[in-house]
Structure 1
């Protein structure tokens, strides 16, 4: 069952029309959520990112789009799919409805839909035996700036980059901006570890304002044994790093095991994911 503007419908009955602006122009935003036994992980962060993104896209935010309302709609959808007491992946999609060309029609109204699927692991884990091989994706580049960091439906680079990775037997690829700085992976934020210093690209470089990125930066800020900064990363730094890892809300932390000829360990990532799980048990 899919939640379509508050109504629970079968997938067959919930189809968008060809005039939907999210379909026609990518005029839509989404949040990917992890829910465990009815608890939406980092829900407040997701909600405020969505609201900020809607304002940037100049969407008229409906009065009923409160944090409590959307949470209730998500939980209602999970219950309808028998996933309320399980681990689940949720996609909350918000679009500007129908009407207009590039300029929305004056009566275009924001709508939403929610889809859910089972997820296999309620905890964040790292399998030390799993390889995770990446390379640079250099066919297209991302423009620096906050607009590039929105979680919008305009994901052409992620789609064709993922196809490129699959064709070349990579598990992921790292994305560059037009200044040739490494900004993120195709499906998450990038962290670089060198000794006791950790770097992640700043939002101004064009990377996603990731929810898990925020959690990791908060954990690092409390660790007196390391220093963390948001700073541009050059491709030349990658092979000099001790560790590289990718973060997102669904997987948590994914250590990169190999980039070109350089192989990496994952000791720091392992210690970090232990702290992350401990934090989740406390909130």
Structure 2
């Protein structure tokens, strides 16, 4: 394997090295942020939860006035990109990140449609690269989260939009204060999600909870898989609200996303959690999630 190998890109069906990939300057995603994306886990060479991701992708495309790609063709392109990544890297990585970006096509005009009926042809950009996931230290010790007001556009919360500017600003401000990530709270002081992941917590009875998706945080596919796994493992789950004034009442919490899986949280603002005491329960949560990774 080339020591400089970084991954594979597939642009509208054409494969190339990730470092050599190019898009036109007229791409609407580049010009206006007119694009949506999905990040999928590829486990041992197999794409996880394709149907769920494609369904959310369709919703995002419809809401963003982007022409959605053909499901079968997109799956073929995605799998070809995964296979090419395995070929170029020389091995099947345990965890691989597959990012699919659908942009509104090519146009320097702010208006989307050329006429009143037809959406322009979209651009499909697929990136596949090997990743390590969270470090063992992150998993055993936990990460630190800084609470910040959620000032993102409410209309974009349910859309997997590439417009991540406020998330990036919040993440960097959290790091400036020696935290690992930012944790958003809404106008009612209720915690919703982090900049890149859903948020879960559990009480003294080990009931797992998370904030409801609708209008508050992105409908996380990995969290949905976890809920199914928890039911099979006979661990209680419930939708709930966590006010930042009540953080001290929480026994433990974590963030959850496709690539990182479940990462325990050891601190939110000044509140600290004993991740070591509940390490076995975090392991049960991870096992419940992994049981649904098919």
Q: TM tier, shorter chain? A: 0.7 to 0.9
Instruction: Give the equivalent residue in structure 2 for 1:48.
Output: 55
1:98 Cα deviation from its structure 2 partner: 1.1
1:45 Cα deviation from its structure 2 partner: 1.7
Instruction: Give the equivalent residue in structure 1 for 2:208.
Output: 198
Report the 3-state secondary structure (helix = DSSP H, G, I; strand = E; otherwise coil) of the residue aligned with 2:256.
strand
Q: Is this contact kept in 1: 2:213–2:219, CA < 8 A? A: yes
Residues 245, 62 of structure 1: CA spacing in aligned structure 2 closer, same or farther, 3 A cutoff? closer
Instruction: Give the equivalent residue in structure 2 for 1:132.
Output: 143
Task: Give distance in 1, aligned partners of 2:121 and 2:196.
Answer: 30
Instruction: Give the equivalent residue in structure 2 for 1:21.
Output: 28
Report the 3-state secondary structure (helix = DSSP H, G, I; strand = E; otherwise coil) of the residue aligned with 2:157.
helix
Does residue 104 (structure 1) correspond to residue 116 (structure 2)? The answer is no
Task: Give distance in 2, aligned partners of 1:156 and 1:128.
Answer: 27
Q: Is this contact kept in 1: 2:18–2:127, CA < 8 A? A: no
Task: Give distance in 2, aligned partners of 1:142 and 1:134.
Answer: 18
Does residue 75 (structure 1) correspond to residue 87 (structure 2)? The answer is no
Residues 224, 38 of structure 1: CA spacing in aligned structure 2 closer, same or farther, 3 A cutoff? closer
Residues 7, 76 of structure 1: CA spacing in aligned structure 2 closer, same or farther, 3 A cutoff? farther
TM-score normalised by L of structure 1:
0.86
Task: Give distance in 1, aligned partners of 2:48 and 2:290.
Answer: 11
1:144 Cα deviation from its structure 2 partner: 4.4
Report the 3-state secondary structure (helix = DSSP H, G, I; strand = E; otherwise coil) of the residue aligned with 1:150.
coil
Residues 217, 67 of structure 1: CA spacing in aligned structure 2 closer, same or farther, 3 A cutoff? farther
Greater mean alpha carbon deviation, residues 207-216 or residues 72-81:
72-81
Task: Give distance in 1, aligned partners of 2:135 and 2:176.
Answer: 28
Task: Give distance in 2, aligned partners of 1:13 and 1:237.
Answer: 49
Instruction: Give the equivalent residue in structure 1 for 2:5.
Output: none
Residues 32, 188 of structure 1: CA spacing in aligned structure 2 closer, same or farther, 3 A cutoff? same
Q: Any gaps of 5 or more consecutive residues in structure 1?
A: none
1:89 Cα deviation from its structure 2 partner: 1.6
Q: Is this contact kept in 1: 2:225–2:292, CA < 8 A? A: no
1:79 Cα deviation from its structure 2 partner: 4.1
Does residue 6 (structure 1) correspond to residue 13 (structure 2)? The answer is yes
Q: Is this contact kept in 2: 1:96–1:110, CA < 8 A? A: yes
Greater mean alpha carbon deviation, residues 105-114 or residues 74-83:
74-83
